[in-house]
């Protein structure tokens, strides 16, 4: 964070512009949006720009400007930023490129960026390599191009690293009121999270959307989440980079489960920050958050005058964390009176066309549905194109939705299945009346899911601070299974009784000490099952001797007591993510790790309540709960064991690189669990 606040830069009263063509465009855009403050062009040769007298340098300005747009070459940018900082300016937009974002092309890019940071000192800067910002509340722009925004009294803030994506988003015709658009370029000094924190403090901002290419410091993200929660202004993120990362040869199975994108999902969910996967979903989610904030739950009602549309709505919810609860008994008589006997009453509801064109009966029907205590009530309505059709009856239906929402106090949305079937004027009128004007079925369902997820997170106690430990820089070592189990057992993780041996004969003797049946494992081998380094159910000395001789392990053997057949097998692992650090992975274990693709990520530290909830999200949880009359697993012991593994990771966070407990055998209720295989990689 910079030591000077961002207020003057984001909400300037005076703006200085440096440069030629781009600087002129900044003035044009301010004039078009009716900026009421002063604009001071600075140019070494021009006498005036657009009727405003030119100043020759920062020293010649009437006073230190609140904000400056620096639209000159990269070398001169550094000198102007230094002069602005020394003069006490509120901040600057650095338009030029050729800094650390261009180190592949320019040898001096990184050095020049350090020079820029040094020149700025504690003065906030946006960029370099960015367009700047549009403040649609006050008409203040540091923006050298056209855009699609206009003045508004309140709205959402949208932040992105990409100036081109920012321009595209301003061109939306979906009825979303945008208060700010801010670009951050390569975030040399001021991050998107820093900007978002400052914008949330503006009482006219209702929600924040971020398009990010990568996260910076975890502490900044946590601070943003805390401020958003305290201010009751939700944040939703579109993070690029979901494509499957290249899978390098990994020692553990955990590596194949804990991709960076899955970790990002888990961390954002923990913090109460929503996540979407596309720009349309970002805009539609921001609409819902602008009107209503986070939803209290994930229940939705839907009404349409087509069975096909009702089916589309139901299908769109498949795989999403939203639900269409059944109609409540008290709704049925009123719906029946309004819609007649031929309508099958259900949710989603096809209300046919019996009430079409009758605003009174439509209002009555919508009101009956809205009184079902759903978090969001949707009415599907695709408006005909105005150049060829008469849309008056569709507008009448929108009026009925507005009236029903007003009468019941329920949250309602009008949903056009195709974006082009929601005209901007209709969308703006709906939004002005507190009705969410949705464009796109899938996007509306995603918006409801994300909003309910934020509401769920905010309804729980504030999260613990994420594990954020700087790792030590040392040589990697991989512990033997025996040594790994000794460390984990000391943390309270149950492991089978076992003894080490260094020859077939010693292995047989150790087996006799433990008592048969036993399992024999070769030490120093990562994937033992695949390598034939595990032999189960050895019942006598001869069998152990023969198995050990055929295994020929250079690092020796581990002889363990056989564990009774489990109810379920889990994997418990940890991997160090380059951005988010260490987190825990839970999933279906044994040979089913990659096959079932059943896993969840648990950010650390984690409470037992969070561990229990994570286990419940696994498909495998059905086995632990007693699937189809089978024995229940020892859930309490499972939670305790995962908690012990989590504690080990937290205590050893500076050195640990990888943990893989696979499988953790969940035994029948009352019999506990056993970690029958374990791998630890850490720095010396």
Q: What is 483-549 written as a DSSP string?
A: HHHHHHHHTT-----EEEESSHHHHHHHHHHH-SSEEEEETT-SSHHHHT-EEEEE-SHHHHHHHHH
**3-state DSSP of 261-286:** HHHHHHHHHHHCCEEECCHHHHHHHH
Contact in structure between 57 and 43 (CB atoms under 8 Å): no
Residue 63: its H or E element: none
Give the C-alpha distances (Å, rounded to integers) separating 228 from 196, 257, 335, 418: 9, 31, 40, 32
Q: Cα 322 from chain centroid?
A: 17
Give the C-alpha distances (Å, rounded to integers) separating 626 from 567, 633, 663, 664: 8, 7, 19, 17
Residue 246: what pLDDT? Answer: 32
Residue 17: what pLDDT? Answer: 98
1 falls in which pLDDT band (50, 70, 90)?
very low
**Over residues 376-392, mean pLDDT:** 96
Give the C-alpha distances (Å, rounded to integers) separating 476 from 250, 472, 573, 642: 13, 11, 17, 25
pLDDT in tens, 303-352: 999 999 999 999 999 999 999 999 999 999 999 999 999 999 999 999 99
Contact in structure between 94 and 115 (CB atoms under 8 Å): no
Listed range (28-42, 253-267, 482-496) with the worst mean pLDDT:
253-267
232 falls in which pLDDT band (50, 70, 90)?
very high
Residue 118: its H or E element: helix 109-120
Distance CA 507, CA 533 (A): 14
In the chain, the N- to C-terminal Cα span, in Å, equals 34
Residue 594: what pLDDT? Answer: 66
42 falls in which pLDDT band (50, 70, 90)?
very high
Alpha-helical runs (H) found in 37-104: 74-87
Residue 367: what pLDDT? Answer: 97
Which residue carries 């000391």 as its tokens? 490
**Over residues 447-461, mean pLDDT:** 97
Q: Which one is predicted more confidently, 145 or 526?
A: 145
- For the chain, give the percent of residues with pLDDT over 70: 95
Return phi, psi of residue 383, to 5°: -80, 130
Dihedral angle over CA of 45, 47, 51, 53, nearest 10: 100
Contact in structure between 666 and 636 (CB atoms under 8 Å): no
Residue 218: what pLDDT? Answer: 85
pLDDT in tens, 598-630: 899 999 999 999 999 999 999 999 999 998 888
258 falls in which pLDDT band (50, 70, 90)?
very low
Token pair for 118: 């040094």
Nearest to 569 by CA among 588, 585, 595: 588
Residue 629 burial class via C-beta count within 10 angstroms: exposed 0-12, middle 13-18, buried 19 and up: exposed
248 falls in which pLDDT band (50, 70, 90)?
very low
* SS3 at position 365: helix
Residue 4: what pLDDT? Answer: 80
Beta bridge partners of 426: none
Residues 6+ positions from 73 with CB-CB distance below 8 Å: 96
The CB-based long-range contact list for 358-361 (8 Å cut-off, 24+ gap) reads 359/396, 359/397, 359/399, 359/400, 359/403
pLDDT in tens, 489-513: 999 999 999 999 999 999 999 999 9
pTM over 0.85: yes
pLDDT at residue 577 is higher than 90? no
Distance CA 501, CA 506 (A): 5
- For the chain, give the percent of residues with pLDDT over 90: 82
Nearest to 253 by CA among 468, 524, 529: 529
Nearest to 526 by CA among 253, 248, 256: 253
**Over residues 579-595, mean pLDDT:** 82
Contact in structure between 668 and 632 (CB atoms under 8 Å): yes
For 163-191, letters b (16+ CB in 10 Å) and e give: bebbbebbebebbbbbbbbbbbbbbbbbb
Q: Which one is predicted more confidently, 288 or 588?
A: 288
Residue 256: what pLDDT? Answer: 45
Residue 242: what pLDDT? Answer: 59
The CA-based angle 480-486-489, given to 5 degrees, is 135
3 falls in which pLDDT band (50, 70, 90)?
low
Residue 565 burial class via C-beta count within 10 angstroms: exposed 0-12, middle 13-18, buried 19 and up: exposed
pLDDT at residue 247 is higher than 80? no
pLDDT at residue 553 is higher than 80? no
**Over residues 656-662, mean pLDDT:** 93
Residue 554: what pLDDT? Answer: 77
Listed range (88-92, 529-533, 583-587) with the worst mean pLDDT:
529-533
Contact in structure between 567 and 630 (CB atoms under 8 Å): yes
Residue 244: what pLDDT? Answer: 45
pLDDT in tens, 184-216: 998 999 999 999 999 999 999 999 999 998 777
Give the C-alpha distances (Å, rounded to integers) separating 350 from 71, 113, 121, 301, 400: 57, 60, 62, 11, 16
Longest dimension (CA), the chain: 100
**Over residues 39-47, mean pLDDT:** 95
Return phi, psi of residue 667, to 5°: -90, 170
pLDDT at residue 273 is higher than 80? yes
Contact in structure between 431 and 268 (CB atoms under 8 Å): no
Distance CA 582, CA 573 (A): 10
For 237-257, letters b (16+ CB in 10 Å) and e give: bbbeeeeeeeeeebbbbbbbb
Distance CA 341, CA 343 (A): 6
* SS3 at position 380: strand
Distance CA 484, CA 493 (A): 11
Residues 6+ positions from 586 with CB-CB distance below 8 Å: 570, 571, 572, 599, 600, 602, 611, 614, 615, 618, 642
Contact in structure between 675 and 564 (CB atoms under 8 Å): no
């Amino acid at each position: 964070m910079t030591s000077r606040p961002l207020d003057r830069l984001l909400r300037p009263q005076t703006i200085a512009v440096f440069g030629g063509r781009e600087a002129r465009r900044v003035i044009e855009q301010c004039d078009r949006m009716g900026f009421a403050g002063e604009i001071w062009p600075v140019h070494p040769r021009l006498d005036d720009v657009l009727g405003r007298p030119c100043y020759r340098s920062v020293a010649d300005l009437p006073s230190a400007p609140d904000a400056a747009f620096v639209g000159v070459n990269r070398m001169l940018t550094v000198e102007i930023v230094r002069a602005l900082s020394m003069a006490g300016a509120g901040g600057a937009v650095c338009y030029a490129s050729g800094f650390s974002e261009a180190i592949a092309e320019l040898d001096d890019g990184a050095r020049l960026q350090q020079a820029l940071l040094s020149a700025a000192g504690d003065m906030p800067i946006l960029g370099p390599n960015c367009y700047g910002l549009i403040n649609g509340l006050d008409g203040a722009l540091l923006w050298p191009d056209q855009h699609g925004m206009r003045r508004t009294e309140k709205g959402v803030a949208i932040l992105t690293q990409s100036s081109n994506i920012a321009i595209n988003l301003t061109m939306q015709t979906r009825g979303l009121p945008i208060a700010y658009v801010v670009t951050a370029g390569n975030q040399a000094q001021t991050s998107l999270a820093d900007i978002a924190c400052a914008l949330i403090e503006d009482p006219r901002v209702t929600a924040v959307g971020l398009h990010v290419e990568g996260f910076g410091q975890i502490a900044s993200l946590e601070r943003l989440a805390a401020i958003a929660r305290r201010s009751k202004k939700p944040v939703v993120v579109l993070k690029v980079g979901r494509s499957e990362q290249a899978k390098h040869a990994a020692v553990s199975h955990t590596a194949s489960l804990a991709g960076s994108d899955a970790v990002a999902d888990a961390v954002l969910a923990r913090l109460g920050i929503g996540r979407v996967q596309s720009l349309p979903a970002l805009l539609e989610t921001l609409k819902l958050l602008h009107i209503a904030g986070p939803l209290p739950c994930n229940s939705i009602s839907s009404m349409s005058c087509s069975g096909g549309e009702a089916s589309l709505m139901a299908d769109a919810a498949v795989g999403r964390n939203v639900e269409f609860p059944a109609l409540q008994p008290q709704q049925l008589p009123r719906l029946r009176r309004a819609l007649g006997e031929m309508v099958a009453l259900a949710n989603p509801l096809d209300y046919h066309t019996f009430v079409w064109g009758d605003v009174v009966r439509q209002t009555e029907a919508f009101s009956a549905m809205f009184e079902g205590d759903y978090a969001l009530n949707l009415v599907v309505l695709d408006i005909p194109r105005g150049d060829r059709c008469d849309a008056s009856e569709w507008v009448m239906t929108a009026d009925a939705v507005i009236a029903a929402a007003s009468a019941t106090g329920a949250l309602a949305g009008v949903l056009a299945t195709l974006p082009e079937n929601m005209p901007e004027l209709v969308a703006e009128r709906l939004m002005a009346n507190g009705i969410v004007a949705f464009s796109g079925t899938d996007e509306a369902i995603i918006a409801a899911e994300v909003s309910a997820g934020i509401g769920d997170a905010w309804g729980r106690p504030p999260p613990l601070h994420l594990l954020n430990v700087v790792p030590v820089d040392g040589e990697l070592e991989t512990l033997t299974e025996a040594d790994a189990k000794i460390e984990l057992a000391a943390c309270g993780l149950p492991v089978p009784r076992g003894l080490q041996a260094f020859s077939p004969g010693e292995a047989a003797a150790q087996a006799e000490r433990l008592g048969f049946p036993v399992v024999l494992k070769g030490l120093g081998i990562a994937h033992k099952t695949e390598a034939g380094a595990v032999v189960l159910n050895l019942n006598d000395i001869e069998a152990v001797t023969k198995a050990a001789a055929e295994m020929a392990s250079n690092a020796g053997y581990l002889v363990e007591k056989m564990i009774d057949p489990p109810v379920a097998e889990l994997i418990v692992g940890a991997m160090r993510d380059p951005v988010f650090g260490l987190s825990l992975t839970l999933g279906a274990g044994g040979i089913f790790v990659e096959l079932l693709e059943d896993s969840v990520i648990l950010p650390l530290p984690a409470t037992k309540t969070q561990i229990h909830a994570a286990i419940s999200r696994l498909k495998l949880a059905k086995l632990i709960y007693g699937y189809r009359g089978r024995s229940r697993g020892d859930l309490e012991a499972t939670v305790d064991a995962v908690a012990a593994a989590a504690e080990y990771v937290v205590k050893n966070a500076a050195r640990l690189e990888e943990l893989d407990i696979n499988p953790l055998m969940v035994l029948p209720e009352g019999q506990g669990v056993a970690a029958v295989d374990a791998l630890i990689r850490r720095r010396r």
